[in-house]
Structure 1
Amino acid sequence: MLENLMAWLTGNLSPSARIWTALAPAILACVYFLGGLLLFSIRCAFKGIPRDEETLKRGSTVLVGFFLRHYFFWVIQPLWTVILRSGLPANALSMLSGLLGISAGVALAAGRFALGGWLFLFAGILDVMDGRIARTRKEANPAGAALDSVLDRYVDSAMLMGLAWYYRDTWVLLPALMALLGSSLVPYVRAKGEGLGVSVRDGAMQRLERVLFLGAGTALSPILEAVFWPEEKHPMHWLAVVGLVFVAVMSNYTAITRFRALVRTLAPKRQEARSEKAILGFNAVAGAVATLADFALVLVLVEWLGMLPAWATVVGATLGAVVNYSINRVLTFKSRGAVARQMARYAVVSGTSALLNAGGVALLTLHPQLAYTLVWWLVRGVVYFAWNLPLQRDYVFNDSASDSLMEQRPHAA
């Protein structure tokens, strides 16, 4: 018995012990939560879903809907009652949640995924309760809210830093860092919006979802590793990898959608000739037609007229630029601004776009593990959406901005 205890404390576990350290808490949790789900469903069938006012205020997501959220707060009611009657201050629960969450990161860095996952999940449950305890006792105050929010960032960061340390010599380090970035930006955009008087709470990957996917994935991952790869000294923990990649993608997507909604709300309203989807479609068509015209002219100049390919490429690129400009002016943006000014601005945007594309590809290809074809498309996509399209819309073909500029210029006497 003592040997088993020492092995568990030191992490020197056999494959079967690794399975049970992950499975034993899972069995207890599954019995409680699945039994609770059955009772909750029966209760809902006869009396309807018990509505939790805070849950209704916070809203739901695609990943965790209202039914599951109401069920979760219903099933943890016994633990909630015990903590409420214990008299523990809400700030003490916040601190305990923070300590458990940071401990989860330390455990994960050491490769103890079962321990780290369960610590992170329990920290998440306590984090849900602290604010409710304060509001129920009418003790809620800005200091407590600030403490809770800051500790949440420490817990999320510690969890992902632990995973990043464990996967530091593998490709999983990149998703871990991306998840750390996204998990930091999601609450930051919300806080920034609230500071500016705009509510941005939407998004599929909020904190509850991050806790569930990261916590469950890491806590249960040793089971698969012990069954399929029992001799691995540094197992990949594939279930944790799947959860981590999913959180990395969805948290950044949530942050971007929130940021986009915030900017749209705060930006000055402008009259659009057509929807953004139509603009994007026509702009893409203009690029495709311009590319075909460029390629066709190069073929004619080289194959029929015997021009050197380098010079033919210059002439073809010039034609492509003129075709692209013309289609965007007439069809995409329906602009009536001065052609000379627009052409000059279009040349500036095209030139800087070429430099950004070349520089981005050059930087990313410094990492030989990245395929240059993937790098090319990635850089093109980022530069197009972050530079080309916005500048063509707001700088090159923005007739209202040009008119305002003309009105601001002093007129000759």
Structure 2
Amino acid sequence: MHDNMLALLSGDLSPSARIWTALAPALFAVAYFLVGLVLFCIRCAIKGIPQDAETLTRGKSVLVGFFLRHYFFWVIQPLWRVLLRSGLPANALSMLSGLLGVSSGVAVAAGRFALGGWLFLLAGVLDVMDGRVARTRKEANPAGAALDSVLDRYVDSAILMGLAWYYRDTWVLLPALGALMGSSLVPYVRAKGEGLGVSVRDGAMQRLERVLFLGVGTALSPILEALFWPTEKHPMHWLAVAGLVFVAVLSNVTALARFRTLVRALTPKKPVKQRSGVALFGFNAAAGAIATAVDFVAVLGMVEWGGLSPVWATVAGCVLGGVVNYTLNRVITFRSQGAVAPQLARYTLVSATSALLNAGGVALLTLHPQLAYTLGWWLVRGVVYFAWNLPLQRDYVFNDTSDELLEQRPHAA
């Protein structure tokens, strides 16, 4: 018994033991949450989606939407009720979450990924509970909120420092440090924004997502290692590496996106003088001509000197020409200050439909053999440009007012 306990703590386990230490908690969790999902869907079909008030106040997330958040908080209600009736102070739950989180970092640093991952996930669940318990008992206060926030940073840092220590002699050290930086900046930018009166809560990699991807990837990684690399003394734990890289990239993307939103909100908007119709047409046509020239030169270079096939060179040239056209129109023609991502999406949509209209128009005109296809090509191009491309680029793609209206629209639950 003593030897088994030492093996469990040190990580010196047989392949089957390594699998079961990771798989046993996973099987229980999967069974619980799958049954909960079925019951939740039945409940939604009968009475509608139960609205969790705190979830509605949090920012949007691409990875974990509001439906999944409502489901998660609904399915863990039994645990919440147990903690509520236990009489444990909310601050005690925060401290327990912090201790488990720091312990997860120690375990991971020693190579005990299953133990560290499950401790980190449990710490995350308790972190969700402490604030709810405090608010339900009407014990919430600024001191408790500060304690919870600081302990969250320690928990996030602990597991990432543990991973950095474990991977200190490999390239994975870089994403570990990147994730450590990003996970610190995401809440910092939010707190800085709130201090300046600006709410910046949205983002793909918020704390729930970090706990989920880091915890699950770390906890389940020993299964793959025991199956495919059972003799490795210092396994790479590729599932944990994937989760770590994912968190490193998206946490920094989230931090930068929040920072950009904060800067835009704090920067006074300057009125932009719009160009007249003739000037607008001239600059837009010039941008198209420059983009076409760049496209042609790029294709020529890739085919003649790069050895690329004409098909792939054309694809690459079209993409490059599109980027040049978009950039010139945004900066010079329309002097737009709107968000880049939605503009690119609108620009891509207009460009794709323009290509379809041009192709369809030329196909229709070729039904008349007496009409030269070159003349038909120019005729269709002109009609599509004046009737579709130019108006939509002016009123839809680069119209900053549409971005402002989208930002003012209330978020759906």
- Is the structural similarity TM-score above 0.5? yes
| Number of the residue aligned with 2:141 | 141
Segments of structure 2 that go 5 or more residues without pairing to the other structure are: 276-282, 298-326, 334-413
Match of 2:37, as an amino acid? L
Contact 2:90 2:133 in 1 (8 A): yes
Conserved 8 A contact 1:108-1:166: yes
Q: Which residue of 2 aligns with 1:116?
A: 116
Paired position in structure 2 for 1:265: 265
Name the amino acid aligned to 2:190: R
Matches within 5 A, 1:359-374: none
Paired amino acid for 1:270: K
Contact 1:273 1:333 in 2 (8 A): no
* One-letter amino acid matched to 1:4: N
Residues 199-246 of structure 1: CA distance to partner in whole angstroms, max 9, x if unpaired? Answer: 011111100000000000000000000000001111010100111101
Task: Supply the distance in 2 between the matched residues of 1:209 and 1:11 (Cα, whole angstroms).
Answer: 27
Structure 1 residues 2 and 139 mapped into 2: Cα distance closer, same or farther (>3 Å)?
same
**Deviations 1:323-377, CA, capped at 9 Å, x for gaps:** xxxx98x99548xxxxxxxxxxxxxxxxxxxxxxxxxxxxxxxxxxxxxxxxxxx
Q: In the alignment, which residue of structure 2 is the partner of 1:4?
A: 4
Shift of 1:252: 0.4
Match in the other structure for 2:244: 244
Q: Show CA shifts across 1:85-109 (max 9, x none).
A: 1111110011110000010011011
1:247 CA drift (Å): 0.5
Q: Distance in 2 between matches of 1:262 and 1:30?
A: 39
Rounded Cα–Cα distance in structure 1 between residues aligned with 2:232 and 2:273? 61
Partner of 2:97: 97
- Rounded to whole Å, the distance in 2 between the matches of 1:148 and 1:88 is 15
In 2, the alpha carbon distance for the partners of 1:95 and 1:178 equals 27
1:79 Cα deviation after fit: 0.7
Q: Deviations over 1:154-196 (max 9, x none)?
A: 1101110000111111111111111111100000000000000
The change in CA–CA distance for 1:233 and 1:273 in structure 2 (over 3 A counts) is farther
Report how far residue 47 of structure 1 moved.
Answer: 1.5
**Whole-angstrom CA distance in 2 between matches of 1:156 and 1:270:** 40
**Pair 1:199–1:16, CA change in 2 (3 A):** same
Q: Normalization by structure 1: what TM-score?
A: 0.67
Map residues 223-302 of structure 1 onto 2, 5 A cutoff. Answer: 223-272=223-272
Partner of 2:361: none
Counterpart of 2:380 in structure 1 is none
Question: Which residue of 2 is the match for residue 217 of structure 1?
Answer: 217
The separation in 1 between residues aligned to 2:32 and 2:156, in whole angstroms, is 26
Aligned to 1:158: 158
Deviation at 1:7, TM superposition (A): 2.1
> Within 1, Cα distance between the matches of 2:145 and 2:243?
29
**Aligned counterparts of 1:104 and 1:51: Cα–Cα separation in 2:** 32
Distance change (3 Å), C-alpha of 1:18 and 1:267: same
Query: Given the superposition, is the C-alpha separation of residues 273 and 22 from structure 1 closer, same or farther in structure 2, using an over 3 Å criterion?
Result: farther
- C-alpha contact 2:10 2:110 (8 A) present in aligned 1: no
Contact 2:60 2:203 (C-alpha < 8 Å) held by counterparts: no
Q: Distance in 2 between matches of 1:86 and 1:68?
A: 27
Instruction: Tell me the residue number matched to 1:196.
Output: 196
Structure 1 residue ranges (4+ consecutive) displaced by more than 4 angstroms after TM superposition: 330-334
The equivalent residue for 1:299 is none
The code of the aligned residue for 1:98 comes to G
C-alpha distance in 2, partners of 1:12/1:6?
A: 8
What does the per-residue CA deviation read over 1:242-277, in whole Å, with 9 as the maximum and x for residues that have no partner?
A: 1110101100000001000000010121133579xx
The answer as to whether partners of 1:44 and 1:50 remain within 8 angstroms in 2 is yes
- Paired residues in the alignment total 300
| Distance (Å, rounded) in 2 between the aligned partners of 1:89 and 1:69 | 25
Q: Distance in 2 between matches of 1:201 and 1:106?
A: 31
Distance 1:117 1:8 in 2: 14
Q: Distance in 2 between matches of 1:29 and 1:332?
A: 52
SS in 2 for 1:188: helix
2:26 aligned residue? 26
SS, match of residue 152 in structure 1: helix
The 2-side partners of 1:10 and 1:175 are apart by 25
Q: Are 1:78 and 2:78 counterparts?
A: yes
Instruction: State the alpha-carbon separation in 1 of the partners of residues 178 and 185 from structure 2.
Output: 11
Give yes or no for contact 2:60–2:201 (8 Å, CA) kept in 1.
no
**Gaps (5+ residues) in structure 1?**
293-326, 335-413
Distance in 1 (alpha carbons) for counterparts of 2:34 and 2:240 = 22
Q: Aligned-pair RMSD on alpha carbons?
A: 3.1
CA deviations on 1:68-123 (whole Å, 9 max, x unpaired) are 11111111111100100111111001111000001001101111000000000000
Q: Does 2:76 align with 1:47?
A: no
- Matched residue, 2:129: 129
Q: Is the 8 A contact 1:218 1:239 kept in 2?
A: yes
Deviation at 1:46, TM superposition (A): 1.3
What letter corresponds to residue 268 of structure 1 in structure 2?
Answer: P
Q: 1:332 to 1:215 in 2, by over 3 A?
A: closer
Whole-angstrom distance in 1 between the partners of 2:258 and 2:189: 7
TM-score normalized by the length of structure 2? 0.67
Specify whether residues 139 and 232 from structure 1 end up closer, same or farther in structure 2 by C-alpha distance, changes over 3 A only: same
Equivalent-residue separation in structure 2 for 1:69 and 1:225 (angstroms): 31
Contact 2:96–2:123, Cα closer than 8 Å, also in 1: yes
CA distance, structure 2, for counterparts of residue 178 and residue 200 of structure 1:
21
1:260 partner SS? helix
* Cα drift, residue 10 of structure 1: 3.0
Amino acid at match of 1:107: A
Structure 1 equivalent of residue 57 of structure 2? 57
State the identity as a percent.
79
Query: Residue 310 of structure 2 corresponds to which residue in structure 1?
Result: none
1:350-365 aligned at under 5 Å gives the runs: none
| Equivalence for 1:175 | 175
